[in-house]
Structure 1
Amino acid sequence: MPYKEKKVEKLYYSIGEVAEMFDVNTSLIRFWEKEFDVIKPHKNKKGNRMFTPKDIENFHLIYHLVKEKGMTLKGAQKKLKENRDDTIHDFEVVSKLKEIRGLLIEVRDNIDSE
């Protein structure tokens, strides 16, 4: 049986890694951290921000609301406070639909190339 390396889930992500995940500048990550109280990074001895997977989930929600849906920061803050569960559900549905769309496009491309 071949050796299969387990995927390691990181405990903390640097601000650079988070910015790269969302293809944004680190300054935007710092700005969102100030604007949204759900983002609470740990800081190491040097003062570097270390984001948890929970922070990353919150960034996904914020990114979805602000960048994809075009909401204002105030609107996104209000939506996260008042309808957090609905927002999470909507985000999950949109993510799944994007995943399905990607699979369908891959199938179509495979059929076209044959």
Structure 2
Amino acid sequence: MDLKHEGYPAKDIKVRFTFNDQVKEISTNKDGRAKIDFDMAEGTVYAKAPDYPEQAMHISLPKDCPMPEQKIEQLANTGKQNELFVAGGMLIGLAGSIAAIYAYKKNQKVA
């Protein structure tokens, strides 16, 4: 989540992230960014900071992945789980970008 105040990065704002049954808090850095990692799973990530609107993004995992006809040894080295972690991380990053754009536009209207 990227936060700005009057168009400038908002440093040291505590942001609470909630994902499934996990809650984590972190403060924004000098660039106004709060970033946290969760284990990959399906669910909705919520980000909330005081005086800013709550942001949410749903993470969906593939439901039907057909099993290729390969040997088990080859399947163990495909790295599919790592690709899911990367994709999930990108989605969470996208949610942060959307939140930053929203916060930026909100600050532009107020100013």
TM-score class normalised by the smaller sequence = 0.3 to 0.5
Flag the structure with more relative contact order, 1 or 2, with Cα contacts below 8 A and sequence separation at least 6.
2
The structure whose residues are more often strand, as a share, is 2
- Give the TM-score normalised by the residue count of structure 1: 0.36
TM-score normalized by the length of structure 2: 0.37
